[in-house]
Structure 1
Amino acid sequence: MLTAAQQEVLQTIADRQIRFITLWFADVSGVLKGVSIAPGELEDAFKEGIGFDGSSIEGLTRIYESDMLLKPDAATFQELPWHQEERVARMFCDVLGPDGQPAFSDPRGVLERQIEKLAELGFHCQVHPEVEFYLLADVPKPNEEPVPLDRAGYFDHVSGGRSHDFRRKVVSVLEEMGISVEFSHHEGGPGQSEIDLRAVDALQAADNIITLKAVVEELAEREGIIATFMPKPFANAPGSGMHVHLSLFEGEENAFYSPSGQYQMSQTAQRFMAGILHHARGISAITNQHVNSYKRLWGGGEAPSYVCWGHNNRSALVRVPLYKPGKSSSARIEFRGMDSGANPYLALAVILAAGLSGITEKMVLPPETEDDVWGLTETERSALGIAALPTSLSSAVKLMSRSDLVAQTLGEEVFSYFERNKRAEWQEYRAQITPYELNRFLSPCPLNSRPRN
């Protein structure tokens, strides 16, 4: 028996004469996957799912357990506006085992399970993501730095600039797909853009992030330029973060708001922040999953490197914005640690789990950090109890491997695969000989042997 939402999708497909339906899902690394089916197959897909070889997808299952199913989520149905010749729509899917039960290796399912835990305590979460990325003029040649599409900076308006036109096209496509955009602008780096999506529930926010990335990359290809969500493509320019603003609601009431609290934060909000700070180092491998991520975290450009919170302090890992004082619905916190290379399903799941642990365990929020944390000495930071985030993927994975919270949130299958995958990434990276090393040690007069004055 089809649900009303599924029946509505089938009717919409017939009315619009849609030719193909693409079923989307993500692997454990957050890479978008998809398979196209004809409209006539969709009713069976709603009822029974579409079979596929899960062992061919990173982290989904082992080779001897390969049979899996994709079950389309009718609530995510949208037409893809960039297809002109034949009309194409997409839906996100949940991944199921052959018995029809949710697969514990499905990243979307990881977030869904965490949302259910929030609901058990009477909460639902609203997430507002800020997604940064770079636009490049062309694919960089080996051992050469990429060439940005422009040389503009933060909030710059460049008349006739391609970055501005590109963002406008992306926003138009997202709006056509029912994804509301709050604003877009040029970011601080050359060729760097930011698109901020309006707050929606956590699962929809993760779906929207995946969709935004797909739209950006698709339109960039059509424009003959390169879009990258690499956390740190330039050594001397800011990295691409993905700050997320979060609020918990109890029904229609914002559980983070209290008119009498510090910065109008409720006790629930303070405990949620305390949980995030407590687990920040352990979840870093999820929110910053690549070797390049740690060059963003420790490369300046307002990236947070230390575990602390503040109000107007943009060096803090967690910030309390106060854009609209007295408006309860706008009360929220901003987690600034995640980068644009993260898998949004897994990253949001561990952030929510960390915050929820702060609520259930009644954690106490440490004092606010008002100083510029980067400007403090190690001694001063130590005296204030400010710990550093991991400095490499290797150290982040070691911390993650000891985190019961991450293991419980991801589940055994995802946790084990993610840990193996990231250790392999670190080993592969460590084996590389970089241009820096060649320039330093193969020059006619190596730097370490030059005479000192």
Structure 2
Amino acid sequence: MVGMATTHPRAERAAQARAAETQLAADGIDGVVFGWVDNAGLTRVKSVPLAQLEHAAEYGVGAVPCFDVSLVDDSFTAAPSSTGPVGDLRLVPDLDRLTPLAAQPGWAWAPADRYTQDGTPHPGCQRRFARQVTEAIERRGLSVQAGIEVEWVVADATGAPATLGPAYGMTRFVEHSDYLREVLRALTAQGLTVLQLHPEYAAGQFEVSVAAEGPVEAADTTMLVRHTIRAVSARHGLRVSYAPVFTEGSVGNGGHLHLSLWRQEQNLGHGGPGRHGLHPDAEQFFAGVLAELPALLALGAPSVASYLRLVPSRFAGAYRCWGLENREAALRLITGSAAGQANAELKCFDAAANPYLEVGAVLAAGLAGLESGLPLPPETPSDPAALVAAERLPASLPEAIDAYEKSALLRQALGSDLYEAVLAVRRAEAELFAGHTDADVIKAVRWRY
């Protein structure tokens, strides 16, 4: 299975690396970048020359554990399990996802799992967490297909949006057609199936979506997509921001998570006896996600800036409810035009999230719904902002932190080390921006994501 390479014995990983080196050398690759995502949602990397790939695959590459508690501004906090500057971890690349980078000639990329020096899995490894929950669902005879939309603002050298054309407008598409064509070509060259690429709502904003895949693979892919867009943009003299909000008062960059539940070849979001064709397992799964959603925001909308995006009437899903094609509901049900396309979209998440934490936690909540047979609440068929009884999701990071601290489910699912590290980072970032204006927050994080 893709995403499982680092569970192989060292000798097997070394043999896989030797075979990869031969092909990569023939393709003109000089170095390989290993990436992981910290609890603040920032992608961190180490790289090795191609000649060192075998050693890296076998023994890993050193990475300091203090990044478990790093903040968006590169400062550090502390958690019960953190050791400050002491200790070391090993980044072990997953060579099943080894990809030559089309927009960075001479380089390849692979996601990495983190291990301790003695070769045991690091309890704070977010990618391992996502894999574990995925496997728990598979033990029930089920599987999940997932995809994360990527929205970004492209800016010129001054930092201003590079196009002011109408939302979804042909104007901005024409102005940047060469740039977008190169994005499309690069993603396709890397083996990704692009479903849509189009202008979005905010000034300078675009969106791309790719084909659904397994949860860990989807998290890997969203990181690869973002790296690729950033690299293509740099080649065109453009800057990229995935921050939750780029311009104060405007629609922000979402990171909408799409999920579908399957039993073998059957999509449980289609053809069932429940509302809009949902099967009982799908209803229970989505009920579990809705029940845990306030706490899940601490993972899927993890920045102080996330709550400047997560407001009503901006298509952000600011209310804890679900509805068929309801773009103001946090959980939008999509039936699609074919059985395989039915899925649910979590609209309240953004690109500041660590995708492995986000995916793993959502799956854990869905699994809890399955195990308890949780009923799906009544549908919200209209704009929840107009309903007196509509429940707002947390409107600030401290509110989301409060819900996270009360979640026994997430504490158990993440394990104490990872749970406490996330909590420490969230508390520290809330304190970091306490008393700052919205404009200050947006400026501080605009180019961090």
TM-score normalised by the shorter chain: which range applies? Answer: 0.7 to 0.9
For 1:304 and 1:82, how far apart are their aligned partners in 2? 34
Q: Deviations over 1:37-92 (max 9, x none)?
A: 122322222222223333356459523652211111111111112234xx221111
- TM normalised by structure 1 equals 0.87
Residue 19 of structure 1 contacts residue 39 of structure 1 at CA under 8 Å; is this kept in 2? yes
* 1:16 is the counterpart of 2:16: no
Work out the percentage of aligned pairs sharing the same amino acid.
Answer: 26
Task: Answer with 273-282 or 367-376: which moved more.
Answer: 367-376
Residue 2 of structure 1 contacts residue 46 of structure 1 at CA under 8 Å; is this kept in 2? no
Task: Answer with 196-205 or 233-242: which moved more.
Answer: 233-242
* Equivalent in 35, 50, 63 of residue 52 of structure 1: 63
* 1:168 is the counterpart of 2:147: no
For 1:299 and 1:261, how far apart are their aligned partners in 2? 29
- Give the residue type in structure 2 aligned to 1:90: W
* Equivalent in 360, 372, 375 of residue 364 of structure 1: 375
Alignment of 1:179-328 (within 5 A): 179-298=192-311, 300-324=313-337, 327-328=338-339
Residue 77 of structure 1 contacts residue 89 of structure 1 at CA under 8 Å; is this kept in 2? yes
Task: Answer with 116-125 or 40-49: which moved more.
Answer: 40-49
- Aligned position for 1:83: 104
Instruction: Name the Cα RMSD after superposition.
Output: 2.2
* Equivalent in 377, 388, 412 of residue 416 of structure 2: 412
TM-superposed CA distance for 1:397, in Å, is 0.5
Residue 186 of structure 1 contacts residue 193 of structure 1 at CA under 8 Å; is this kept in 2? yes
- Give the residue type in structure 2 aligned to 1:359: L
- Aligned position for 2:87: 66
TM-superposed CA distance for 1:393, in Å, is 0.5
SS in 2 for 1:307: strand
- Aligned position for 1:401: 405
- Between the two proteins, the alignment pairs up a number of residues equal to 419
- Aligned position for 1:441: none
- Relative distance call for 1:40 and 1:154 in structure 2 (3 A) is same
TM-superposed CA distance for 1:250, in Å, is 2.3
Residue 18 of structure 1 contacts residue 89 of structure 1 at CA under 8 Å; is this kept in 2? yes
Higher RCO, Cα 8 Å, sep 6+: 2
For 2:431 and 2:66, how far apart are their aligned partners in 1? 23
For 1:150 and 1:410, how far apart are their aligned partners in 2? 41
TM-superposed CA distance for 1:434, in Å, is 6.5
For 2:38 and 2:206, how far apart are their aligned partners in 1? 26
* Equivalent in 431, 434, 446 of residue 430 of structure 1: 434
For 2:385 and 2:157, how far apart are their aligned partners in 1? 34
- Give the residue type in structure 2 aligned to 1:98: Q
Gaps of 5+ in 2: 1-10, 71-80, 441-449
SS in 2 for 1:409: helix
- Aligned position for 1:450: none
SS in 1 for 2:170: coil
Task: Answer with 56-65 or 418-427: which moved more.
Answer: 56-65
- Give the residue type in structure 2 aligned to 1:417: A
- Relative distance call for 1:123 and 1:138 in structure 2 (3 A) is same
- Give the residue type in structure 1 aligned to 2:395: T
SS in 2 for 1:55: helix
TM-superposed CA distance for 1:435, in Å, is 6.6
- Aligned position for 1:127: 146
- Relative distance call for 1:361 and 1:169 in structure 2 (3 A) is same
- Relative distance call for 1:160 and 1:305 in structure 2 (3 A) is closer
Alignment of 1:30-49 (within 5 A): 30-49=41-60
- Aligned position for 1:143: none
Residue 248 of structure 2 contacts residue 439 of structure 2 at CA under 8 Å; is this kept in 1? no
For 1:323 and 1:331, how far apart are their aligned partners in 2? 5
Residue 325 of structure 2 contacts residue 333 of structure 2 at CA under 8 Å; is this kept in 1? yes
